[in-house]
Structure formats: C-alpha cells, structure tokens
Chain A
C-alpha cells in the first residue's frame, strides 16, 4: 500500500488539533493566573456561532474570527465578574457558563441552521505550496493554523520571559504575596480570564469557519473539555499543550485511518484510546512529583479578596 495518504492524514490532524490548541493555550494563561475556568466548552460554542453568523452576514473572514474572539471574551467577562469580584466558586461557575453558552448559542443560531459559506481558504503561495510533501505540510494550511502556532510561541515567551508574565505567574502562585507587593490581583486575573475567553472563542470560530464551515447546535461536541484536560496534561506549559493537542488529534485521526485500512478493533476500544493514552502519559509525567508540583499554580481555583 502506498503512503500517499500520509501527508493528507497529517493535514487532517492539524485541522483537528488547531481548535484545541487555541482553547488550551488560552486556558493555560487563565490557570497560570490561579483561575480554573471550566466553561471552555460554552465559550467555544459561543465563538462558533458568533463567527459563523458574522461570516454569513458580512462575508468577511477577518470579522468572523474577531466576532468569535469577542463572543468568547464576553462570556468570560461574566465568569470573571462572578469569580473575581463576587467571589463565586470557580468550578460551579464554569460549569454554569457552559450550560448558559450552549443554550444561548442555540437560541442565536436558530436562524443559521442550513446557512453556508465557503470556509476559510488554505494558504496558497504560488510555487512554494506545490513542492511535493513539504509544500502542503508547511505552506498548505489556513491562516488560523499559523496563528495558533504563533500564539503558542507568544504565550510561552510571555509567561517565561516577560515581567508581565512573571506577574501572572506570581498571582497564580501566591496571590497574597503579589497583593502585598502592590499588584492588583483582581486586575491581573480579569485580564487572564478575558484572554482565555477570547482564545476559546477563536477555537470555536475555527470549528465553524474552517474545520466544518456550517452551524449546527452543540457542534463543539466536547472539545472544550478535551482542551481543559490538555492544560493539565501539559502541566501548564504552552508548548506541551500544543503537542498534547496534536497527540490527541493524532490518535483520533489515526484510528479513523486504521479502520479505512481494515484494521479490526472494536469501535469502542478505538475511541477509548485517546483517553487511556492521556491517563497513561499523565501518570508517567506526574510520577516525578517534585516537577509536577512546581508547574501547578499553587492558588489554582482559590478566590482572592483583599481582607481588612
């Protein structure tokens, strides 16, 4: 059997991984600031409908992506106000955010079922994109794929090498200390939450304008939860989250290709593989307990209030 399918298979994996990359990297920043937002699924689906509605009515892909980001951001604003300023429990608020987002997106999306538009075009650089193998692999993606890689690089650089990034980490590590030095814990956390919301929104937008350019209810189909898992899986490191997304996407896609080749495994067992693999990798990396503890933001999930 020829391996002509290999390059397109990798392209498929890239498409499957990209929405996860956006959402997971955004959530990494949120959690680094000490906030656990379980509402990723809700923010993604709002991003998906906002982007799709904008794309259909304006025809502009740039506006569509911006709308997706804005919708995710607005939803995360609710979460931020509740958790940061009104001290509500983060786990419960995040879950409520998902319920709300799924409902609201369905309500808004009602009139967009069945609408279509062409979808985000692949990059096409004459000459370069046509080089066999390397051409499509490196230059054959849509613009959001490149943006996702850039955003991972930027977030990694931001968290590790900038003063502001240090501040975010400090707030996540020990909010009382950060406060006593004179930084606004609440402001930093709000910023991180809004960034995470916008990124989840773009991840959702990717689904409805690039992955499958259409709108149907619940189209995120659990990807927000997987993104959340990836953040912990990656022990809060942006590049690890990136590779985690590709690993997860890879296993899902490869099992589909394996079926096409006639590999006989139970469908349920094949579908279990990504989850089992995640657990396994997680056990392996967390065995080194000192290292795992070092990365976990110490104040994750704990609310902060200026006392006195």
Chain B
C-alpha cells in the first residue's frame, strides 16, 4: 500500500521512524543460490560480486545469505525451500537449471519473492526472471577482433550448444564480418563450463590452427592465459580478466548484476516489486565492456564505442536483417530486427559460419 499524499507520507515516515520499519528492515533477508564455487572467477564469482555490492549499497538494512555449489537437481529444490522457510524475503536463483525448482518452491511460498536468472518460466505471481544481453557485448567485441586479427581467424572456445552460446557465436561472427569480409570463425566445443585444463587445450588447438584471437564462452581465465603465452589476443568472459594476460586481454564482456540486485531488493523493501521478465544489456548497465587494451588502435576503439553507444541508443541491433542461416533460409528479413523470442531460442548458425552445431 502506498501513501501518495503528503500527509500520508508523513505518517508513514513517522511510523517508520518509530520502530515498525526497523522490524521490517531487520526482516529483509536476501538469499542467493549459486551453481558452482564462488572461487570460479567466472559466472558464480560475478553473482557474488553482485551480492557484495548489494550489502555495500544497503548496509544494515539487509542481511544476505548465499549457498554455493548447489547442483541443478533434487538438491536445488531442497536448498531453495530451506531459504524460503528460514525467513528470506527475496531469493535469487542464479542458474538456468533452477527454473523448475524455483517455480515449484515459489508456488508453496507465495509470500516470498523469487528471481530466477536466465529462465523463461514465471508460473506464480511471485517469480520474476532476469538475464543479460551478453550478445550485445559480443557484438562490440566482434568489431574489435575482426579488426585485430591478422590471420582472419577467430578461435571460439564454446561450452554447450544452447541458444545463449550460439547467439554469442552468431553475434561475434556477424559483427566481425561487417568489418572484415574475409573473417572465419573456428568453434571448439569442450562440453564443460569449467575445466581450466581443457579450456586451455582448446585454446591451444585453435591457435595452432591459425586463430590469432580467442573468444570464450566458458568460465575460467585459462584460454586467456594461453593467448598471453602464445602472443595472440583474447576477449575475457564474465569478469575483467586483465590480470591473467595483460597483453592478450583486448577487453572482456563483464556481467554486472549489482544494479539489478540493488534495485530489486529495494523494490521488495518498498513494497512495489512486480513480476517481470528482464533482459538487460548495455543500456541498463547489466553488460559492460572491460577497459580496452592500449594495443587497440584509436579508430578501432572508436568503432567499438560507437557500436556500443549505437546499441544503447537503439540505432544498432546485432541481429538486424537480412540474416540467413547456413542453409540459406532467411531467418530475419531485411530491415527487420530479431525479436526476443527468436533470439531466446536461437539454434542455428548464420550463413558463413563453417561447421555444424553439435546435436
């Protein structure tokens, strides 16, 4: 309930000042569920950075809890239930595999608010979903790698063939192609999100086969380290990975969850939280580019920045027609932009990419 009038507001403030809200504030408990260890320096690490910033921003008004390494199976439901039944008012479940568990628990605890990352199901009114438009970052990175490669070959260390990853490969390729018509992209699937040794091996294989810029859609900084050692360039994933390869690190596509976490927590505290499906990008600050490497020529930096600003302003869209798939079928007609539904379920390579998506 909101007091719109000045008088009402004053009453509300007065009530707040005399204790009621201290009780309410003390009750504001936010829980986070992570799929891997915080110490992965990737996906989970970045969510935890969001938690830390949330604590910094709201201070004593909020207490936070996190549970790490929660497998995406029967354990997930147990942990989320446990959080919901121990006084947490808001629970962020930060991996796709928590989608059904989150919805299941949300139905049982209608008074608790749930936020699920990267999913699409919102079966009860107390569940929202959120994700980031990482492909926007890849589109900006694509301009840089397209310009920086001398062998015209991008090496791409990929995890699993889900739409998220395929979208990233397509965005990178389309962007690089637009500045370098001779560009080729080589994709190696490692079937893991997280195995530094295997990620490094894949990067080596790509470099040995002519790639001189490495992109990755896996979580550890290992591919970047390999690039540094071999004297080629790389683009970091999830966090600013500069420290792992100062020369190689062109930039990184940074997941920045903090603003969202702060905003949603405040919304619950203020009582104006509403169910929504959030897909934020550069504009809202959920995706960021890490500082550009000084080795990138000024005009390329400008190109990248113009692209970024264009995406924010809405003048540029990574998936703007005409875009055909490998079979030559028009997927996005000329002059049209891909809608969110098409992008969310993207399961085809765009024309020009060699190789096939593993089944």
B189 in the interface (beta carbon within 8 A): yes
Cα A252 to Cα B225 with chains together (Å) = 20
Indicate if the CB atoms of A260 and B206 lie closer than 8 Å: yes
Indicate if the CB atoms of A214 and B222 lie closer than 8 Å: yes
From the candidates B189, B196, B209, B354, name the one contacting A216 in the complex (CB within 8 A).
B196
Indicate if the CB atoms of B243 and A114 lie closer than 8 Å: yes
A262 in the interface (beta carbon within 8 A): yes
Q: List 16 A-B contacts (CB under 8 A).
A: A8-B207, A12-B204, A16-B201, A110-B39, A113-B41, A116-B244, A211-B200, A212-B220, A216-B40, A216-B196, A221-B194, A221-B195, A221-B198, A260-B186, A267-B189, A267-B191
With CB as the reference atom, state the residue of chain A lying closest to B189: A267
For residue B209, give the distance in angstroms from its CB to the closest CB of chain A.
4
Indicate if the CB atoms of A214 and B358 lie closer than 8 Å: no
Q: Which residues of chain A are near B211, meaning CB under 8 Å?
A: 260
B259 in the interface (beta carbon within 8 A): no
A288 in the interface (beta carbon within 8 A): no
B71 in the interface (beta carbon within 8 A): no
B208 in the interface (beta carbon within 8 A): yes
The 3 A-B pairs of least Cβ separation, nearest first, read: A217-B37, A5-B208, A267-B358
B356 in the interface (beta carbon within 8 A): yes
Q: Given A260-B205, A261-B209, 10 other A-B contacts at CB below 8 A?
A: A211-B200, A214-B221, A216-B41, A217-B37, A219-B220, A256-B190, A256-B202, A257-B209, A259-B205, A260-B211
Indicate if the CB atoms of B189 and A257 lie closer than 8 Å: no
B302 in the interface (beta carbon within 8 A): no
Name A's B-contacting residues (CB within 8 A). Answer: 4-5, 8-9, 12, 15-16, 106, 109-110, 113-114, 116, 119, 207, 211-219, 221, 223, 252-253, 256-257, 259-262, 264, 266-268, 271
B359 in the interface (beta carbon within 8 A): yes
Cα A9 to Cα B209 with chains together (Å) = 9
User: Do A212 and B196 contact each other (CB < 8 Å), given the known contacts A106-B37, A113-B45?
Assistant: yes
B315-359 CB mask vs A (1 if < 8 Å, else 0) is 000000000000000000000000000000000000000111011
Indicate if the CB atoms of A114 and B356 lie closer than 8 Å: no
Number of interface residues of B (CB under 8 A): 44
Cα A268 to Cα B359 with chains together (Å) = 9
For residue B187, give the distance in angstroms from its CB to the closest CB of chain A.
7
Q: Which residues of chain A are near B197, meaning CB under 8 Å?
A: 16, 207, 211-212, 219, 221, 223
Q: Which residues of chain B are near A12, meaning CB under 8 Å?
A: 201, 204-205, 208
Q: Which of A8, A106, A212, A266 has the most CB of B within 10 A?
A: A212
User: Do A256 and B205 contact each other (CB < 8 Å), given the known contacts A116-B243, A211-B200, A214-B196?
Assistant: yes
For residue B34, give the distance in angstroms from its CB to the closest CB of chain A.
12
Cα A228 to Cα B354 with chains together (Å) = 39
Indicate if the CB atoms of B188 and A256 lie closer than 8 Å: yes
Q: Which residues of chain B are near A215, meaning CB under 8 Å?
A: 39
Cα A274 to Cα B355 with chains together (Å) = 23
